[in-house]
Each structure stands twice: as C-alpha cells, then as structure tokens.
C-alpha cells in the first residue's frame, strides 16, 4: 500500500518535471531575473552536473565496499545536486531562449548524438532515480539492487554528458 502511494507520487513528479522542462522551450520567456546576470547559470548547471557525477561515483564505490551509510549519504547528495540543477535549469530556460549550437562537421554530429541521448535518458532518469531511492529507503533491497543496476549508469551518463554538452555549446551562449 505504501509503495503504491509512492509510485503515484513518483509518476506525478515525473510528468510534472518533464512537462515543465518541455514547456520551458515553448512558452514565452519571462524576465524572472531582471537586472541579474543570468549568463552564470549554464556554468552553475555544469558544475552541479559535475558534482552529481562525482557524488554518484563515490556512492558507487561505497556500495561496492558494502559501506551503505556512505552510499546513502552520497546518493542523497547527488539527488540534492540534481534538484538544484533542475531548479536553475528551469529558471534559465524560462528566462532566455535556448542557445543554438554553431559547430560544424564531425563535432556537430557528436554534439547532437550526445544531446539527443542526454535528453531521452534525462527524462527516463527522473522516475528511475525516484523509484530506486524509494526502494532503498523502504528497505526493499532486492528491488533496489535490480533497478539500481540500470539507474546508476544512466544517471552517471546524464550527469557526465550534461557537462560535455555545456563545454560544447558554451561558446554559443548569448
């Protein structure tokens, strides 16, 4: 019964988060940060993605060493970094138009491959991370382990490619 309640909350959050991200690209831009230099936000988001990646690696090493408290702490830290990333990402994308990538040749193909896989996997990681964390917190360790073997590499990929995408597109920000 409790897990069913969590699943409902997880799916509502998934739809809401992914819906807000999609809307941020299509709705008119709002001047939320009037008078502020928002050019720093993409860099902040890259740093948050990098921090998420590092926290996830430490969590992975900890669980492999059977240090569950350290694992739990760094997963929580990665989750906090990701939540902060989401807040600033939405703030930025509701405020300014998206930058257009200006690279050419092979770099353009690499960029768009990374971007497309990043977008699809970022949408998927929302429910995966929430379900994985809820299983762990509710003591459903076997279910947690089964889904974590998918969640961890996807979350690592999304956080890592977020940094690479920033590096590739940063020359094209306004």
28 within a domain of the structure (yes/no): no
165 within a domain of the structure (yes/no): yes
Mean pLDDT of 8-14: 85
Helix, strand, coil shares, percent, the chain, to 5: 80, 0, 20
CA 57 vs CA 119, 152, 153: distances in Å:
21, 9, 10
Rg over CA atoms, the chain? 17
15 within a domain of the structure (yes/no): yes
- The 10s digit of each residue's pLDDT in 13-36 is 888 888 888 888 777 767 766 777
Q: What is the pLDDT of residue 160?
A: 98
90 within a domain of the structure (yes/no): yes
Answer with the residue of higher pLDDT: 138 or 31: 138
Burial of 39 (0-12, 13-18, 19+ CB in 10 A): exposed
Integer Cα distance of 42 and 44 in angstroms: 5
Residue 50, Cα to own-chain centre: how many angstroms?
A: 10
107 within a domain of the structure (yes/no): yes
87 within a domain of the structure (yes/no): yes
Integer Cα distance of 105 and 114 in angstroms: 15
148 within a domain of the structure (yes/no): yes
Q: What is the pLDDT of residue 169?
A: 95
| Structure token pair of residue 167 | 């590096």
Mean pLDDT of 145-157: 97
Integer Cα distance of 162 and 174 in angstroms: 19
pLDDT at 128 over 70: yes
Count the domains in the chain.
1
Cβ 21 vs Cβ 89: under 8 Å: yes
Q: Which of 113, 122, 145, 137 is nearest to 52 (CA)?
A: 122
105 within a domain of the structure (yes/no): yes
pLDDT at 119 over 70: yes
Integer Cα distance of 170 and 152 in angstroms: 27
Integer Cα distance of 81 and 61 in angstroms: 18
Query: Domain range for residue 143?
Result: 2-21+38-172
Sign of CA dihedral 1, 154, 43, 119: negative
């Amino acid at each position: 019964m409790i897990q069913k309640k969590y699943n409902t909350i997880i799916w509502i959050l998934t739809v809401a988060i992914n819906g807000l991200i999609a809307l941020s690209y299509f709705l008119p831009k709002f001047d939320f940060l009037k008078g502020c230099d928002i050019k720093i936000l993409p860099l902040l988001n890259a740093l948050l993605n990098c921090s998420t990646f590092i926290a996830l690696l430490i969590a992975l090493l900890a669980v492999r060493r059977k240090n569950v408290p350290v694992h739990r702490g760094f997963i929580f830290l990665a989750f906090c970094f990701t939540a902060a990333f989401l807040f600033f990402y939405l703030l930025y994308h509701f405020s300014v138009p998206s930058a257009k990538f200006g690279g050419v040749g092979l770099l353009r193909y690499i960029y768009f491959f990374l971007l497309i896989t990043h977008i699809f996997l970022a949408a998927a990681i929302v429910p995966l991370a929430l379900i994985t964390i809820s299983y762990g917190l509710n003591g459903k360790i076997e279910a947690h382990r089964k889904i974590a073997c998918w969640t961890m590499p996807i979350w690592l990929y999304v956080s890592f490619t977020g940094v690479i995408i920033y590096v590739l597109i940063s020359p094209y920000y306004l």
